[in-house]
Amino acid sequence: MSRRGRGDRPRLGALPIVLIIAFLLVGTLATTLSIPPASPSPSGLPAGSLPPFSDATAPPTQTPSGRYPPDAETNLVNSCVSGIDPNTVPGPIAAAFCVCTLNRFEQTYPTYDEFQRATASGAFTDQMKTAISNACAVQIVGG
């Protein structure tokens, strides 16, 4: 009978673990601060859709940098927000996290074409995405 060494276990990538920890931290912070749930938007947007960025109440309130076409920015943020469990992370905090992420993408790749090329070619690595996600989580929870 052979014993498996520490290094014999399959490793999970860092991204899922880091994102889970970040979302748990944000969820814990939101629960601790008793942030009220977002009220329905007076604009009549359906639940789960992204309200106008100026309505985000999560600290820090951010708006997209505006370097990418408005539709592309909206799609990136909506895609990000829809991937976050609203039972764990309140909508305004998720929106702030996603806008922060978008802004950092825009700092890394100033044009949308550059961003698309880097994503398609693999130049925009999971390691880079994890670093951006971590920085935004820290910015939002104030770490």
Q: Which residue has the higher pLDDT, 12 or 95?
A: 95
pLDDT confidence of residue 79? 93
Cα–Cα distance measured from residue 79 to residue 81, given in angstroms and rounded to the nearest whole number: 6
List C-alpha distances in Å: 70 to 43, 129, 138.
19, 21, 26
* Closest C-alpha among 98, 91, 97, 77 to residue 39: 91
Cα–Cα distance measured from residue 67 to residue 70, given in angstroms and rounded to the nearest whole number: 9
pLDDT confidence of residue 43? 40
- 57 pLDDT above the threshold of 80: no
pLDDT tens digits for 67-79? 899 999 999 999 9
Cα–Cα distance measured from residue 18 to residue 134, given in angstroms and rounded to the nearest whole number: 7
Q: Average pLDDT over the chain, rounded to whole?
A: 73
pLDDT tens digits for 88-130? 989 888 999 999 999 999 999 999 999 999 999 999 999 999 9
- 10 pLDDT above the threshold of 70: no
Cα–Cα distance measured from residue 109 to residue 136, given in angstroms and rounded to the nearest whole number: 17
- 3 pLDDT above the threshold of 60: no
- 62 pLDDT above the threshold of 60: yes
CB 100 within 8 Å of CB 62: yes
Domain ranges of the chain: 51-143
